[in-house]
Amino acid sequence: MSNDKEVVVVGSVNADLVVGVDRRPGPGETVLGSDLAVHPGGKGANQAVAAARLGGRVGILGRTGDDGNGELLRASLAGAGVDLAHLLVTPGPNGVALITVGPDGDNSIIVSPGANARLTPADVEAARAMIAGAAVVTFQLEVPLETVLAAARVAADAGGRVVLNLSPPAPVPDELLRLCDPLVVNEHEAAFLLPGHDADEDPAALASALLARGPRSVVITLGGDGALVADASGSSAVPSPKVEAVDTTGAGDAFTAALCLRLARGDALADAARYAARVGAASVRAAGAQSSYPSADDELPA
């Protein structure tokens, strides 16, 4: 069992191309920005690096391109200690995220999937042993949905815990929602799944409505306000430490990674979320996604 992974991530590997702006341009408008910075990113790779930096035994199933960006991303994952046995290389461009960061630290993102779009259920089958051996398998929606569903079935059939971060938001089958323990969403992603609801509703009401869709548990992330966790036994609020945000890019991925690692180690959901909120808060204090993630030895904000 010692060689099995605590967390396996099935997801995207992107190069983040980041420009700081004083304000975002409107339609037809040009604004000047900062120098272009290139950071390793992608929701899948971010979660893998964050969990590994926190000391987890982590593997990833994903695809990079055969360009220079792919080499950068493999180096970042390897440097964090992530198992790359199932990080596959696809001819063509790597996935890329075009990110603008405003003066308040908030970001706007456009993703070009590249190699991520070519991750298939056949790749899942080839990685079956790694997925089936994991305590927790976590997913996002920057790779094809059929691949996510295939891997979630493998994980659930083996007794692993399935965590889905519904980002970017997209329709998902009820079968996948029923496997989630938890489903991780922000307010906007929650509202996306709930026609007739909106993101400004009470988070506890949103969580209750989400549970009715089938997941075993739900975590609604609330940015600087922390999170709300809910399952059949009820809901509870999880506060976030107050920090000065420099760049929020990848903060949700840091939260989800920390949550998954603590769940893999047996924490109750609310306890795992409290730890995850501290890790997420730590990650916004520096620029970039993976480069901002704390290590197991770093002191987290209280």
Annotated binding site for K(+): which residue ranges?
A: 247, 249, 283, 286, 288, 292
Give all strands (DSSP E) within the chain, no chain letters: 7-10, 14-20, 37-41, 58-65, 83-90, 95-101, 107-112, 136-139, 161-165, 180-186, 217-221, 227-231, 234-238
Q: Match 């180096």 to its residue by tokens.
A: 75
The count of other CB atoms within 10 Å of the CB of residue 293 is: 28
Annotation: binding site = 14-16, 42-46, 142, 186, 221-226, 247, 249, 252-253, 283, 286, 288, 292
Nearest to 43, CA basis, from 249, 278, 276:
249
- Distance (Å, whole) CA 141 – CA 24: 26
Strands in 83-90's sheet, in edge-to-edge order, are 83-90, 58-65, 7-10, 136-139, 161-165, 180-186, 217-221, 227-231, 234-238
- 253 has catalytic annotation: yes
Which value, to the nearest 10 degrees, does the dihedral of the CA atoms of residues 200, 208, 190, 270 take? Answer: 100
Annotation: binding site for ATP = 186, 221-226, 252-253
* First-to-last C-alpha distance (Å) of the chain: 33
Annotation: binding site for substrate = 14-16, 42-46, 142, 253
Which residues have C-beta within 8 Å of that of residue 129, sequence separation ≥ 6? none
User: Which sign, positive or negative, has the C-alpha torsion 115, 63, 68, 34?
Assistant: positive
Q: Choose, from 181, 202, 253, 297, the residue flagged as catalytic.
A: 253
Contact 250, 292 (CB under 8 A): yes
- Distance (Å, whole) CA 76 – CA 39: 9
User: Which sign, positive or negative, has the C-alpha torsion 3, 9, 13, 14?
Assistant: negative
Residues designated catalytic: 253
